[in-house]
Amino acid sequence: AQKITQTQPGMFVQEKEAVTLDCTYDTSDPSYGLFWYKQPSSGEMIFLIYQGSYDQQNATEGRYSLNFQKARKSANLVISASQLGDSAMYFCAMREYLTGNQFYFGTGTSLTVIP
């Protein structure tokens, strides 16, 4: 089974609007972390935000927030007030504590911000 599933290969959003990128995960480890990375067309991987499995509140970092629904095993990324520079690939990832701390990545969502 896939550890991380991103079901949206491509998304479009109007500039200044909010957008939600979906991510579901699969683990039986009670201790894990969930991460989002941004990959612009230049290719580098940029860390955006993380959520720990024991965190009670949703993580936020500036215009990024992580909508963590533990029972549903989802960790959606919300980008508020989209900017043209947000156009990029976005990857969701998970790190499990018990399985040697490996990271598992989804296949990514391509976000295009329309002026």
Using CB under 8 A as the binding rule, whether residue 3 contacts other proteins is answered as no
Helix (H, G, I), strand (E, B) or coil at 86: helix
Interaction residues for other proteins, span 21-40 (CB under 8 A)? 29, 31-33, 35, 37
Using CB under 8 A as the binding rule, whether residue 53 contacts other proteins is answered as yes
Evaluate whether 36 touches 20 at the Cβ level (below 8 Å): no
Number of residues lying near other proteins (CB under 8 A): 27
Helix (H) or strand (E) holding 69: strand 64-69
C-alpha span between 7 and 4 (Å, rounded): 10
Query: Residue 82 or 109: which CB sits closer to other proteins?
Result: 109
C-alpha span between 1 and 41 (Å, rounded): 30
Q: How far is the CB of 91 from other proteins (least distance, A)?
A: 6
Q: Considering only 16-24, 60-68, 72-80, 94-102, which stretch makes contact with other proteins by CB under 8 A?
A: 94-102
